[in-house]
Amino acid sequence: MATLELQGLRKSFAATQVLRQIDIALADGEMLVIVGASGCGKSTLLRLVAGLETPTAGRITIGGRDVTGLDPSERDIAMVFQNYALYPHMSVFDNMAYGLRIRGLSRGDITRKVEDAAALLGLEALLSRKPRQLSGGQRQRVAMGRAIVRDPKLFLFDEPLSNLDAKLRVQMRAEIRRLQRRLGVTSLYVTHDQVEAMTLGDRLLILHEGTPAQLATPMEVFERPADTYVAGFVGSPTMNFLPGRLARDGTAVQLDAGPLIPLQGRRSGDAVTLGIRPEHLTLGGSDLTLTVDLVEPLGSETLLHGRVAGREADAITVKVAGAVTATETVTVGVQADQAHVFDAGTGKRIDPLGQ
Amino acid sequence: MKDRPDYLAHAVLILGVVLFALPVWLVFAGSTQDSDAIMRGDLSLIPHLSNLSVYKRVLLHGTMGTEPVWHMLMISFGMAMAIACGKIVISILSAYAVVFFRFPFRQVAFWLIFVTLMLPVEVRIIPTYAVMADFGLINTFTGLWVPLIASATATLLFRQVFTAIPDELVEAARIDGAGPLRFLWDIVLPVSRANIAALFVILFVYGWNQYLWPLLVATNQGLDTIVIGIVKMIGEETQTDWGAVMATAVLALVPPVLVVVLMQRWFVAGLTEGEK
């Protein structure tokens, strides 16, 4: 159990800067989920912490010990890979025991540790099987087991669930979280799946082109996204963005599409982007008139896709509870207290003054 | 599949079997027959089983003043084993270096190995002889196999095999704390054992069939391989003991066939067991 600190971490491959400046500190037992689109540098960040890549600049400290120059095996970490990376010729037992054997543990200790981990993961019956005789979920568990037996200071997860089918993914997601809580091991978890990120993390780090866009708890990221990138990344369906200008001394947004949307509080700025999540639009309001072009019933709720009347560029999605009969044009209202305002130029969030 | 027997397919298969098996059968049948009959072209397809003693004769005493066949088989077997094992060990080590290590001139090293593929053995046989002479290895058993144990082809093959090992496996082993030699021994070799077995078969047969090099380097009769022995037995045409020659040829077939059969079991097992 340990803390993890990254200070001024940078990584470039030749002329390409992959990570620009990462400073994070993880508390003991905390689980930080790193999310971002592919190519944002999230896997590189994980590999730097693992010691599989060498940082161009910066320091990595695990449990107060500077590990920047150390080999992966000396860092006291364990990693779970996307394709599990089980040794195909070894049994489940040997896969888990391999690292311990190299460390020179006694035979009795190894057997005890592997059996404990197997019991924890429900793998007791599979110990003598080879990886190819296991299902995807079982392989995933073995990969977890291999990480657990080493009793590491830090768990690293590299998109461990993305090779599983949807149902199993939900199940394993919960299992990973329970296990991590129970063992209390500080963890870094890389994913591109925002649902995984929201449910697993104590905190989220959203990476955008090698720079941290926001580092906060999942709810904070959802409720107060730091910029339009984060706002668009977290939440499903994606947040709607409408261009406009602050009006009425900053208490409303004059949309380019025409309507004036009142806000809560007063903000300073000029050209802005109004962000509003699909679930915060209500049918029957009078703020926007929508031309509906697609209705998607999801059972408990319905998605309406449409465009602001007269503005082809402004696509809008509305999420409504229950079933809706499709109509060509609907009017929707914006829940003013749920609207987000971003600077149109920088994309940064603009909070009401005095808050 | 279809229930009806496919006559055409069977006919083609039978033709193939006959084409391949008939010459071998002819040699076996010939080995039990009288030399004069063979000389007259009077070769019967039915072996004279009473004459099987010719095998015992060549095996223990040879013919026309050659070494006994058992001795030549031993020399050939030793040489083929040494060549096959040597080639595999050297190729694995060099391919391992080329694939898993980053060192200056790595590509140059690989291309230098690759270029030697383009030089046929005959081109470098005189310089090789000179080198062996300087080492004092002419007419020694060591001289028979040492120059033949480097193989660009095998290196190339293992390079392909190693390149196909997923990066994650390498990284998982690094995190587990396996050093380079441990990784080679514990992961790379077991994962590629099917390829090693297949290559061993090919290289053993290659070594067994060597003719030109043993002919040059070993003039001492005690170092005659079975291939050289057969050629020597044929000697002057009129006096050739054809029955003995054919018996020796059949005996010369046995070890490579055994190697193929035994190793085949092993590498089929490897093929079905390996990989995810």
- DSSP string for residues in B12-39: HHHHHHHHHHHHHHHHHHHHTS-HHHHH
Tens of pLDDT, residue by residue over B244-259, are 888 889 899 999 999 8
The lowest-confidence range among A247-251, B129-133, B271-275 is B271-275
What are the structural domains, with CATH classification, of chain A? 4-230 (3.40.50.300), 240-343 (2.40.50.140)
Over residues A343-350, mean pLDDT? 90
Q: Which residues of B160-191 are buried (b: 16+ CB within 10 A; e: fewer)?
A: ebbeebeebbbbbbbbbbbeeebbbebbbebb
Query: Alpha-carbon distance B121 to B123, whole Å?
Result: 5
Within 8 A of A102 by CB-CB distance, chain B residues are 176-178, 182
The lowest-confidence range among B34-38, B142-146, B172-176 is B34-38
Selecting from B171, B177, B190 the residue whose C-beta is nearest the C-beta of A89 gives B190
Pairwise CB contact (< 8 Å): A102 & B169:
no
Selecting from B168, B176, B187 the residue whose C-beta is nearest the C-beta of A73 gives B176
Tens of pLDDT, residue by residue over A224-252, are 999 999 999 888 889 999 999 998 888 88
Same domain? For B205 and B266 the reply is: yes
Pairwise CB contact (< 8 Å): A87 & B172:
yes
Query: Alpha-carbon distance B17 to B5, whole Å?
Result: 18
Residues ≥6 apart with Cβ < 8 Å to B181: none
What integer pLDDT is reported at residue A27 of this predicted model? 93
What integer pLDDT is reported at residue A59 of this predicted model? 93
- Give me the CATH number covering residue B242: 1.10.3720.10
User: How close B1 comes to chain A (CA, Å)?
Assistant: 28
What integer pLDDT is reported at residue A256 of this predicted model? 85
Same domain? For B35 and B74 the reply is: no
Identify from A49, A71, A87 which residue to disrupt to test chain B contact, counting B C-beta atoms within 10 A and taking the largest count. Answer: A87
Pairwise CB contact (< 8 Å): B177 & A132:
no
Same domain? For B47 and B93 the reply is: no
Within 8 A of B171 by CB-CB distance, chain A residues are 50, 52, 72, 79, 81, 85
Pairwise CB contact (< 8 Å): A102 & B174:
no
What integer pLDDT is reported at residue B222 of this predicted model? 84
Mapped onto helix, strand or coil, the DSSP state of residue B189 is: helix
Strand locations in A199-323, DSSP E?
203-208, 211-216, 240-247, 252-255, 260-262, 271-276, 281-297, 301-308, 315-321
Same domain? For B79 and B146 the reply is: yes
Tokens of A142: 């073995």
Q: How many CA atoms lie within 13 A of B146 on its CB side?
A: 16
What integer pLDDT is reported at residue B151 of this predicted model? 83
Which of A322, A326, A279 is CA-nearest to residue A302? A322
Tens of pLDDT, residue by residue over B86-113, are 999 999 999 999 999 888 888 898 888 8
Flag whether B63 is in a domain: no
User: How close B104 comes to chain A (CA, Å)?
Assistant: 17
List of long-range contacts for A328-331, beta carbons under 8 Å, 24+ apart: A328/A291, A328/A292, A329/A289, A329/A290, A329/A291, A329/A292, A330/A283, A330/A284, A330/A289, A330/A290, A330/A292, A330/A304, A330/A306, A331/A283, A331/A284, A331/A285, A331/A286, A331/A287, A331/A288, A331/A289, A331/A290
Per-residue pLDDT for B265 more than 80?
no
Pairwise CB contact (< 8 Å): B169 & A78:
no
Same domain? For B175 and B253 the reply is: yes
What is the gyration radius of the CA atoms in chain B, in angstroms?
A: 23
Flag whether B58 is in a domain: no
By the 8 A CB rule, do A142 and A149 touch? no
Tens of pLDDT, residue by residue over A200-224, are 999 999 999 889 999 999 999 999 9
Q: Residues 125..154 of A with a Cβ closer than 8 Å to B: which? A: 130-132, 146
Flag whether B91 is in a domain: yes
Same domain? For B41 and B99 the reply is: no
Flag whether B230 is in a domain: yes
Pairwise CB contact (< 8 Å): B276 & A86:
yes
Of the segments A90-99, B187-196, B236-245, which one has the largest average pLDDT value? Answer: A90-99
Per-residue pLDDT for B121 more than 50?
yes
Tens of pLDDT, residue by residue over A260-307, are 888 888 888 889 999 999 999 888 888 888 888 888 888 888 898 988
Tens of pLDDT, residue by residue over A37-46, are 888 889 999 9
What integer pLDDT is reported at residue A100 of this predicted model? 93
Nearest chain A alpha carbon to B178: A102
Residues ≥6 apart with Cβ < 8 Å to A310: A257, A258
Same domain? For B46 and B144 the reply is: no
Nearest chain A alpha carbon to B191: A89
Pairwise CB contact (< 8 Å): B176 & A99:
yes
What integer pLDDT is reported at residue B276 of this predicted model? 35
Query: Taking chain B, what is the end-to-end CA distance rounded to the nearest angstrom?
Result: 29
Flag whether B61 is in a domain: no
Selecting from A52, A88, A98 the residue whose C-beta is nearest the C-beta of B171 gives A52
The lowest-confidence range among A39-53, A74-88, B35-49 is B35-49
Q: Residues 60..79 of A with a Cβ closer than 8 Å to B: which? A: 71-73, 77-79
Q: How many domains does chain B have?
A: 2
Query: Taking chain A, what is the end-to-end CA distance rounded to the nearest angstrom?
Result: 37
What integer pLDDT is reported at residue A1 of this predicted model? 58
Flag whether B30 is in a domain: yes
Within 8 A of A90 by CB-CB distance, chain B residues are 190
What integer pLDDT is reported at residue A214 of this predicted model? 93
By the 8 A CB rule, do A352 and A267 touch? yes
Same domain? For B171 and B205 the reply is: yes
What integer pLDDT is reported at residue B271 of this predicted model? 57
Flag whether B56 is in a domain: no
Q: Residues 169..188 of B with a Cβ closer than 8 Å to A: which? A: 169, 171-178, 182, 186-187
* Domain limits for position B111: 70-273
Tokens of B205: 């047969």
Same domain? For B40 and B130 the reply is: no
Helix, strand, coil shares of chain B, percent, nearest 5, are: 75, 0, 25
Residues ≥6 apart with Cβ < 8 Å to B231: B211
Whether B269 has its CB under 8 Å from any CB of chain A: the answer is: no
Same domain? For B25 and B105 the reply is: no
Q: Band the pLDDT of B275: cuts 50, 70, 90.
A: very low
Nearest chain B alpha carbon to A53: B171
What integer pLDDT is reported at residue B274 of this predicted model? 46
What integer pLDDT is reported at residue B172 of this predicted model? 92
Whether A105 has its CB under 8 Å from any CB of chain B: the answer is: no
User: How close B171 comes to chain A (CA, Å)?
Assistant: 7
Same domain? For B45 and B148 the reply is: no
Same domain? For B8 and B95 the reply is: no
Flag whether B65 is in a domain: no
Mapped onto helix, strand or coil, the DSSP state of residue A241 is: strand
Q: Residues 191..230 of A with a Cβ closer than 8 Å to B: which? A: none
Mean pLDDT across chain B: 85
Mean pLDDT across chain A: 89
